[in-house]
Amino acid sequence: MTAAPEGIAIESQHGVLQITLDRTPRRNALDVSAIRRIVGALEHAATDDSLRVVVLAASGPDFCAGADWVAANAGGTRPRAGSLQRRTALQAHRLIQLLREIQLPVVCGVRGWAAGLGFQLALAADFTIAAESATFWEPFLERGFSADSGSTWLLPRLVGVARAKELLLLGRKLSGTEAAEWGLVHRVVSDVELDGAVATFVAQLAASATVAVGLTKRCLHRSLETGLVEAMEGESFALELSSRTADFKEGLLAFQEKRAAKFEGR
């Protein structure tokens, strides 16, 4: 794996796109160029038929300390009014949107700090495995500004409004174990087990019917904003598409032959 100057290493192998945050001196905080690199990788992955899973990982003892506000304010020139509102939609917010909307499963492994944008990366992934050493934190109000990167949408849907307020307004920190108990992550494991647990999820998803997985993910997320009838209409379109895939035919044949299906992601 070759690290990029932006501190984001990207490797594609055997249908798995691995995006590794590699800015350990900054606790893997993401500056604008790092975010752009991840966004570009995800946009490309969305149309790459060779890919079946996306993995978010990190080098060093911490997952991600959030957006790199030191780098963002190092220029010395005060931007004109509305700069944050215009830029955030194309940077951190675009990144969260892509993780939610890409029709590939996203697996995330977290150890150490996952703060701010780093917390939201873990929330936006489809499967997040946390090490016991993990600490999840929304530091926004403690720093004097309001929450962003989808936190006000993601958190109440995962843990309810009361707990979302505790995290966002009071700045409560959660351990990996607490995050699992609250339903914010899918599993908590010891630090030494983290890489193996992530690999297990990735292997299972890489062997799944990729088109059907992506369509089901899309239906799940859209259902959060629609009623039952609209959700079932979305399911009908997804069923129409998935039933025309080679994986669907393989699934039927495997059922008839009483064996495990061997999906190719097509």
Dump strand ranges (E) for the chain.
8-13, 16-21, 53-58, 106-110, 113-115, 127-131, 135-137, 174-175, 187-189
Same domain for 113 and 225 = no
Average pLDDT over residues 203-207: 96
The residue segments making up the domain with residue 233 are 210-256
Q: Which two tokens stand for residue 209?
A: 């019917």
Same domain for 159 and 224 = no
Same domain for 251 and 146 = no
Average pLDDT over residues 47-69: 93
* Radius of gyration, alpha carbons of the chain: 19
- According to the model, what pLDDT value does residue 262 have? 95
- Residue 105 predicted with pLDDT over 60: yes
Same domain for 90 and 124 = yes
- According to the model, what pLDDT value does residue 145 have? 82
Considering its fold, how many domains does the chain have in total? 2
- Dist CA 99 CA 101 (whole Å): 6
Q: Which letter does DSSP use for residue 131 in this model?
A: E
Same domain for 92 and 191 = yes
Per the domain annotation, does 1 fall within a domain? no
Q: Is 187 exposed, middle or buried (0-12, 13-18, 19+ CB in 10 A)?
A: middle
Average pLDDT over residues 212-216: 97
Average pLDDT over residues 53-69: 92
Same domain for 225 and 119 = no
Q: Give the tens place of pLDDT for each residue, 115-165.
A: 999 999 999 999 999 999 999 999 988 888 889 899 999 999 999 999 999
- According to the model, what pLDDT value does residue 67 have? 87
- The residues that bridge with 58 in the sheet, in sequence order, are 21
Per the domain annotation, does 40 fall within a domain? yes
Q: How many CB atoms lie within 10 A of CB 209?
A: 22
- According to the model, what pLDDT value does residue 1 have? 45
Can you give the CATH number for the domain in which 227 is found? 1.10.12
Same domain for 200 and 90 = yes
Per the domain annotation, does 156 fall within a domain? yes
Per DSSP, the residues of 217-256 read HHHHHHHTTS-HHHHHHHHHHHHHHHTTSHHHHHHHHHHH
Same domain for 223 and 202 = no
Q: Give the tens place of pLDDT for each residue, 142-151.
A: 888 889 899 9
Average pLDDT over residues 198-227: 96
pLDDT > 90 fraction of the chain, expressed in percent and rounded:
83
- Per-residue confidence band for 6, with pLDDT thresholds at 50, 70 and 90: confident
- Dist CA 117 CA 220 (whole Å): 23
- Residue 75 predicted with pLDDT over 90: no
- Dist CA 119 CA 42 (whole Å): 18
Longest dimension (CA), the chain: 68
Average pLDDT over residues 194-199: 97
- Dist CA 65 CA 30 (whole Å): 8
Residue closest to 184 by CA, chosen among 104, 132, 139, 120: 120
- Per-residue confidence band for 55, with pLDDT thresholds at 50, 70 and 90: very high
Same domain for 166 and 85 = yes
- According to the model, what pLDDT value does residue 82 have? 53
Q: Which letter does DSSP use for residue 190 in this model?
A: -
Q: Report the half-sphere exposure of 76 (CA within 13 A, side-chain side).
A: 0
Same domain for 25 and 152 = yes
Same domain for 112 and 193 = yes
Query: Cβ contacts of residue 215 below 8 Å, gap of 6+?
Result: 103, 238, 241, 242
- Per-residue confidence band for 179, with pLDDT thresholds at 50, 70 and 90: very high
- Residue 264 predicted with pLDDT over 80: yes
The least confident of 60-74, 80-94, 103-117, 170-184 is: 80-94
Residue 56 or 79, more confident:
56
- Per-residue confidence band for 2, with pLDDT thresholds at 50, 70 and 90: very low
Same domain for 157 and 71 = yes
